[in-house]
Amino acid sequence: MREDTPQEELNYVGKGTERVDTTEKLTGKAKYTGDLRMPGMLHAAVKRSPHARAKINNIDTSDAEAIPGVHAVVTGKEFDYKLGLYLVDKDVLARERVRHHGEAVAAVAAESPGLAEQAVKKIDVDYEVEEPVLDALEAIEDDDKLVHPELDDYDYFEPAFSPQPGTNVANHTKIRKGDVEQGFEEADHVIEREYTNPNVQHVPMETHVAVASWKEQDELDVHTSCQSPFTVRNLLCVAFDLPHTNVHVEVPYVGGGFGGKAGIGVEPLAACLSKKANGRPVKLEASREEEFSLLPCRSGLTYRIKSGVTEDGDLVAQKMTMFWDSGAYADYAVNVTRASAYSASGPYEIPNAHVDAYTIYTNKPYGTAYRGFGHVEFSWGLERHMDLLAETIDMDPLEFRKQNALKPGSITITGEKIVENTGNVTKCMEVAAEAINYGELTPEEKKRQEETGMKIAKSVSALHKAPAMPSFTATAAELRMNEDGSINADLSLTEYGQGTYTALTQIIAEELGFPPERINLSIKGDTDKAPYDWQTVASKGLLMSGNACIKAARDLLEKAYQDASEVLRADPCDLDHNENEIYIKHHPEESVTFSELAVGYAYPTGEGIGGPIIGVGRYMAQGLTNLDKETGQGEPALDWTYGSHGVVVEVNEITGEFNILKVASAFDVGKAINPANIRGQVIGGLIQGLGTTICEGYAYDDEGHLLNPSFTDNKIPTSMDVPEEIEGIVIETPQIDGPYGARGVGEHPMIALCGAIGNAIYYAAGADLTHMPIRSEDVWWALHKDEDRDRPRYSIC
Amino acid sequence: MQNLKEFERPQSLDEAVEKISAKPGRRLLAGGTGLSITDSKTTIGLVDLKSVGLDYIEDDSDAIKIGATAVMRALEESSLLQNYAGGLLADVAAEVGTTPLRNMITAGGNITQLRVWSDLPAPLLALDAEILVTDQEGETTYPAQKFFHRHPSQLLDDTDIVTEIQLPRGIENYSSSYTKFVAVDDSYAVTSVSVVLDMEGDTVKDVRIGVGSASPSPARCPEAEEELVDAELNESLAEKVGEICRANVNTTDNVWGSGDYKSKLIEKLVKKNLLQAKTS
């Protein structure tokens, strides 16, 4: 939409406008769910399982209930329903069995957090501990040790997913294009290898928190730190069998989500506790430790890739098998599996492709959406693999990528035809390569090598990602004009740090021709007041809500023009407007102000016409279809955002230490609505990607206990760890159905970074890495593979 | 600490000794970072050392004296320590945790708890520090080697109070070098190496090497030190000494590193820090 508008005709779009939430956040005025204090509010605490897999024989809550000030104690027995968005597999509290270390088995609401904690300690749970199934590759084979023996009874979203009852497979997605076996025969070389990734925690600054009040007549009010208020409302209504008019979800400022708050989290338990406490509000706020094992993480992945390549550098066939370790529950993980399956080849054209992607239950903390939605994980293996293939045929890896890159006319593995306006991944690679002086060391880099004794190397990776969402995903925006001609706007995309609200404000301002200061886009989410949005995920917010805002602005102007045409006795086609008034084009002195029209126009005689000026815009994802369950063919992608990372890395060949000297990343965003915000997203995403690359991941013992369950042992990078230089580069190939040609770029900066760094380390020191994260020690072990020693089990796996 | 019922804040060391000895089930509170991750059912009372006047860092004729409740931030910013043996202890303190943690973690707590993230013990070994402990019977002085020989909890009773660290006179002008090898900046050490060195020309007059976080207790490397004394310190000797240290420190696995890797790090970090101390 409006993708052809030249920049010189734009007043607000394309500018680095200051974020709309700057002052509130910097002054501390912004209120988050955790800041809420309500009259009579109780505090919740959760009893968690110390075992990865056990039967619950009995839970004795009598001592906890006897403590004065404890108002509610609940156990799983009280809830005979499950929750889920795509696959309804999760209990509010574990019922007959626990399926992962840290799972909630009981909960308490009491008058203070300390009292609630004390009561939780008095709950006595009698477990019958069982041997857990921890390895996804074993779990897929093991039909005796089922994590969900009742899988056959679960509801699921049938058009998109295929659970396999009687196994630990929660979903199997298949993609088939061409004839992969024939392709291997045509290939000069066939290379197969396996790449692995651990579970990773999202670590939003604000942990999961909700305050629920179950009032009289089953009216349920929930304030929550979530990404998707309407999903929370809908799932609460389904679980509790309540009409949608009874459930009211409000979302104040949110301190980060990264996918971990995409679905439903602590809200149902807070609601149940409030109900049992006779409607007193209950706050359930996860501790940082609870974020690591009570709440979901990123699924682990083992990715097996078998590729056929010709001497000339053509990728002719690729068989891709993904084993997604979703942990104990797979509600959101099934969709990660599906999305990664249809993107599994990366931004490359594969004539003969074969993907099997499995979501596998194990007895580990469960997986959910995480920035990148599977693409960070599979791109690790894929981008390492691309370099391995290039090396096999003695070709420069960048040239090999460019030769096989998707370009206009290419057909993706699901049969989608790439066109000019899809975007330009080749250009992304070229500019990223140029920005790091790919292919040579600068004199400064050579000097640095001599001074430090470390080896410097460079590499370039490529990436793509489309929003992963139902084919019929929709959103809406509503604009209401105030008496002074300013605009109050509402939509239900959640602003949890991305900056989208600033970009949307710019889009509304551009479309109306009003300055952005006159637009007040309410940051607070409220399902009673704001129009529907499916979820705030998938890097789809800017495109979809942007289009809804454009349509709402047009609708609002149409109403204003209608009323103005009566006042000015002119056809709307003869009218135009500036910031303040609508006027007749041929007689600009004949005009009526927006302020006069805003809530209904009054003639001097007192008679009124029109009424409050309101604009509504709806937007439905365009052209998406279900994928065929046997072949995976169909249209899964609203838009593809392409990107590329160029990295410069130095490695100490003796200790395996490495430093990332520079990252230059280019993304084809279609149109940069707010270049400053994009830079913010790029830097933030790169640093998060850096965490995934250098240090993050869960480690377990043989019984499935998390060995690094807190910040003490499970670290993320800080500002002290960032690369010496970060360069973000924007490419603008307009998206025809994007607002002003824009696409999302929220997730993309962290995709394929790890592969680029892994490849550069390989070129610098020869360390051939197949497991993420890469810590200095991993480089060291990779350099000593030939020494025939077993790596101790404490490593992140 | 669900059974905690009493909180005492004595105003003098004598009162602290009296309070901690008065009843079983009492524990000392210094910075609180160690206690915050402890879930002890047997702790019924805390004796807070905040007001007993042990937060000093002072110059004395026989030693530099660091009170047990002096926090890492104070050590880091102390000009006395910055100018003592190449500023080793100030440098070490500056790399402990993050600034908010450094404002909490006390010198006494760091050495008494002796956890994997305790950074002071290894450099204190290298500095030949002494640790003063007080109980109802009076004061006892332990050389660092004895204090850290096994976990201090095996040496100390529950009623003992670590009161002071003393840094000896005579090594003020030694040079030093320190590396804390970490995965990310605010993480604790996979392995740390401290070197304290006195040279005359290219010849080593005195040297101490301390290794931290690689094994349950911090280690000195006397075999390596003997090899160095009166020898000419050059790259090949530094390398050889690194290998000696590697062979003499028993490393263990933890989440942040395998014993094998830590051994390799010891070898390389000892070499690096010897050469750095020589030129600093």
pLDDT per residue as tens digits for the range A63-117: 999 999 999 999 999 998 999 999 999 999 999 999 999 999 999 999 999 999 9
In a domain, B1, yes or no: no
Q: Given a cut of 90, is residue A712 above it in pLDDT?
A: no
Q: Could you give the 3-state DSSP secondary structure of residue A783? A: helix
Is the four-CA dihedral A165, A167, A173, A179 of positive or negative sign? Answer: negative
Nearest chain B residue to A695, by CA:
B183
Model pLDDT for residues A453-484, shown as the tens digit of each residue: 999 999 999 999 999 999 999 999 999 999 99
- Considering the entire predicted model, what is its pTM? 0.95
pLDDT value, residue B132: 98
For residues B159-183, average pLDDT: 96
In this predicted structure, the answer to whether residue A563 has a pLDDT above a threshold of 80 is yes
Find out whether A222 and A247 touch, Cβ atoms under 8 Å: yes
CA distance A133 to chain B (A): 21
Query: Is B190 in contact with A708 (Cβ distance < 8 A)?
Result: no
Q: What is the pLDDT of residues A313-339, one digit of tens each?
A: 999 999 999 999 999 999 899 999 999
The pLDDT value recorded for residue B106 is 98
The b/e string for A432-452 (b: 16+ C-beta within 10 A; e otherwise) is bbebbebeebeeebeeeeeee
Residue B224 placed within a domain: yes
Q: What does pLDDT average to over chain A? A: 96
Quote the domain boundaries for residue B97.
Answer: 57-168
Q: Provide the pLDDT for residue B186.
A: 86
How many residues are there in chain B?
280
**Residue A513 CA: distances (Å) to CA of A518, A542, A557:** 10, 19, 10
Structure tokens at B112: 């008494």
Cβ separation of B190 and A707 shorter than 8 Å? Answer: no
Active site residue A747: yes
Whether B186 contacts chain A with CB within 8 A: yes
Specify the number of domains making up chain B: 3
Residue A508 pLDDT = 98
How far apart CA A449 and CA A436 sit, in angstroms, is 16
Mind listing the pLDDT tens digit for each residue in B107-152?
999 999 998 889 999 999 999 999 999 999 999 999 999 999 999 9
| Average pLDDT for A21-31 | 95
CB nearest B2 (choices: A121, A655, A712) = A121
B100 near A CB under 8 A? no
CATH number at residue B76: 3.30.465.10
Please give the full DSSP string across A659-722, using - where no structure is assigned.
Answer: EEEEEEEEEE-SS-S-HHHHHHHHHHHHHHHHHHHHT----B-TT--BS--STTTS----GGGS
Count Cβ atoms within 10 A of the Cβ of residue B37 and give its class: 0-12 exposed, 13-18 middle, 19 or more buried.
exposed
Whether residue B210 is found in the same domain as residue B248 = yes
Which of B1, B116, B239, B255 is the best substitution to test chain A (most A C-beta atoms within 10 A)?
B255
Q: Cβ contact (<8 Å) for B254 and A794?
A: yes
Mapping DSSP to helix (H, G, I), strand (E, B) and coil, where does residue A80 land?
A: coil
Is A797's pLDDT higher than 60?
no
CA distance B241 to B222: 11
- Residues 212-231, chain B: which have Cβ within 8 Å of A? none
From the candidates B113, B181, B187, which should be mutated to test the interface with A, based on the most A CB atoms within 10 A?
B187
DSSP A570: S
Q: Is B258 an interface residue toward A (CB < 8 Å)?
A: yes
pLDDT over 70 percentage in chain A: 98
Banded pLDDT at B16 (limits 50, 70, 90): very high
Whether B190 and A777 lie within 8 Å, measured CB to CB:
yes
The 10s digit of each residue's pLDDT in A195-224 is 999 999 999 999 999 999 999 999 999 999
B96 touches chain A (CB under 8 A): no
User: Which positions ≥6 away from A525 have C-beta within 8 Å?
Assistant: A229, A249, A250, A251, A492, A494
| Bridge partners of residue B191, in order along the sequence | B181
The answer to whether A550 and A511 have CB atoms below 8 angstroms apart is yes
Is A496 in contact with A227 (CB distance < 8 Å)? yes
- ipTM associated with this complex: 0.90
Q: What is the pLDDT of residues A44-70, one digit of tens each?
A: 999 999 999 999 999 999 999 999 999
Query: Which helix (DSSP H) or strand (DSSP E) does residue B180 occupy?
Result: strand B175-181
A121 CB neighbours in chain B (<8 A) are 2
Residue A357 confidence (pLDDT): 98
Count Cβ atoms below 10 Å from residue A758 Cβ, excluding itself.
30
Indicate the fold that domain A7-30+473-620 takes in CATH: Aldehyde Oxidoreductase; domain 4 (3.30.365)
- Mean pLDDT, range A285-307, rounded to an integer: 97
Condensed to tens digits (0 to 9), the pLDDT of residues A602-655 reads 999 999 999 999 999 999 999 999 999 999 999 999 999 999 999 999 999 999
Question: Are residue B122 and residue B76 in the same domain, yes or no?
Answer: yes
Contact A655 B268 (CB under 8 A): yes
The enclosing domain of B260 has a CATH number of: 3.30.390.50
- Tell which of A452, A721, A788, A789 to mutate to test the B interface (max B CBs under 10 Å): A721
Question: Can you tell me the mean pLDDT for A391-419?
Answer: 98
- Condensed to tens digits (0 to 9), the pLDDT of residues A652-702 reads 999 999 999 999 999 999 999 999 999 999 999 999 999 999 999 999 999
Domain shared by B16 and B38, yes or no: yes
Last residue of a domain, one of B168, B190, B209: B168
Residue of B251, B258, B270 to mutate, testing the A interface (most A Cβ within 10 Å of its Cβ): B258
The active-site residue out of A24, A451, A747, A777 is A747
Q: Which residues on chain B are in Cβ contact (under 8 Å) with A651?
A: none
pLDDT over threshold 70, residue B196: yes
Domain boundaries, chain A: 7-30+473-620
Candidates B230, B223, B240; CA nearest to B275 is B240
Phi, psi (rounded to 5 degrees) for B227: -60, -30
Task: Report the Cα B243 to chain-centroid distance in Å.
Answer: 24
Mean pLDDT to the nearest integer, A542-548: 98
Per-residue pLDDT band at A788 (split at 50, 70, 90) = low
How close, in Å, is residue B95 to chain A by CA atoms?
A: 12
- Percent of chain B at pLDDT > 90 equals 86
Provide, as residue numbers in chain A, all residues whose Cβ is less than 8 Å from the Cβ of B186: 715, 718, 720
Torsion angle of the four alpha carbons A597, A603, A606, A610, in this order, in degrees rounded to the nearest 10: -40
Average pLDDT (B4-28) is 95
Q: How far off is chain B from A330, nearest CA to CA, in Å?
A: 27
Please compute the mean of the pLDDT values over residues A150-163 and round it to a whole number. 96
Residue B255 to residue A713, Cβ atoms within 8 A: yes
- The 10s digit of each residue's pLDDT in A107-136 is 999 999 999 999 999 999 999 999 999 999
- pLDDT (0 to 100) of residue B126: 96
Q: List Cα–Cα distances, B138 to A358, B27, B29, B134, in angstroms.
A: 68, 19, 20, 6
- 8 Å CB contact of B183 and A715: yes
CB-CB: which of B183, B258, B265 is closest to A791?
A: B258
Q: Do B260 and A789 touch (CB under 8 A)?
A: yes
- pLDDT average, residue stretch B14-34: 94
